[in-house]
Amino acid sequence: MNFDQAMIFTHVTEKAAIATLPWIGNGDKNKADDAAVQEMRRVLNNSNINGEIVIGEGEIDNAPMLYIGEKVGKGGPEIDIAVDPIEGTRMTALGQSNAVCVLAAGKKDSLLKAPDMYMEKLVVNSLAKDHIDINLPIEENIKKVSSVLHKKIEDMVITILDKPRHHHVIQKIRNLGAKVFLIPDGDVIASIQICMQNMPGDIMYGIGGAPEGVISAAAVHSLGGNMQAKLIPRNKVKGANLENDKISLEEIKRCKELNLKTESKLLLSDLVTSSSVLCAVTGITKGDILDGVSVEENIVKVDTLLIIGETKSIHRITSQYELS
């Protein structure tokens, strides 16, 4: 996928980010998300692609969003698309930092097709790419990575989502002596930061959404890092009850239909099968890497990272549009 083709998807995330502008700090995350989804769908459908959402926000029977299996575009090359119209809906609604619009795209059959469910993720940069195993305890992975990076354990920084489900893992990391960098949301940005070696953090670990995981994998693959993952049923993450058990049975059923096995190790090559992929990330609110959407008179400015797998290149793009 060349630069000109990649710019199609930059335009998609930029326009989706701009659509959230009225809802930044407004307090209503659902309205922010809906605005981004509708604009992302509109721009994709006006693009010269024959696209399919291979992982997104649910499936046609139970989600009004960009659903798994949805066809987009008005004709052109066959493209797999993984979407997260807003990574950080709560952060957008509260005006907090690091909210982004993000997607990954690649040639047909290049991205994992999976249900919208939880995914356990382990990410490192290119220097440590041959030294992780998600089946090992997190402490063992920290030791292996610290050795290859020639860092003391106490100098290792592990980025992890600040969620109750991670409290026991966070304690294990701190008991080992390593540092923990907690983030409220946003494991796509965190994965990119891990692979950009001038950014803080040595390992990204945690259980988050599978769509974000596939998008992260496209970025990690393009930046020469490594990622391993597991699809995790809801009741293993949120606890067993009637509702979670029912959802988990459906997730396991869908995984079987897609020839996937829950709680089984997925390599980066399972998540992304080709270098013909890209990741586009546009800032909504100002963050560690990107500026947020800003308006000056009738001009709106957006800041985007475009990561292209074939060239293993990162492009930071500042665009401006006239407000209609």
DSSP 142: H
Residue length of the chain: 324
CA distance 137 to 85: 33
Is 186 marked as a binding-site residue? yes
Is 163 marked as a binding-site residue? yes
Is 33 marked as a binding-site residue? yes
Is 89 marked as a binding-site residue? yes
Name the residue type at position 230.
K
Is 57 marked as a binding-site residue? yes
Q: Strand, helix or coil at 105?
A: strand
Asked if residue 123 lies in contact with residue 239, where contact means CB atoms within 8 angstroms, the answer is: no
Is 164 marked as a binding-site residue? yes
CA distance 177 to 10: 41
Is 292 marked as a binding-site residue? no
Is 209 marked as a binding-site residue? yes
Is 80 marked as a binding-site residue? no
Is 84 marked as a binding-site residue? yes
Is 212 marked as a binding-site residue? yes
Is 95 marked as a binding-site residue? no
In DSSP terms, 251 is beta-bridged to none
Sort residue 296 into left (φ over 0), alpha (ψ -120 to 50) or beta. beta
Tokens for 120? 């356990």
CA distance 197 to 217: 17
Q: Are strands 294-296 and 71-72 parallel, antiparallel or unpaired?
A: unpaired
Is 64 marked as a binding-site residue? no
Is 34 marked as a binding-site residue? no
Is 185 marked as a binding-site residue? yes
Residues annotated in a binding site for substrate: 87-89, 118, 163-165, 185-187, 209
- Please enumerate, by residue number, every residue annotated as part of a binding site: 33, 57, 84, 87-89, 118, 163-165, 185-187, 209, 212
Known binding residues for Mn(2+) are 33, 57, 84, 87, 212
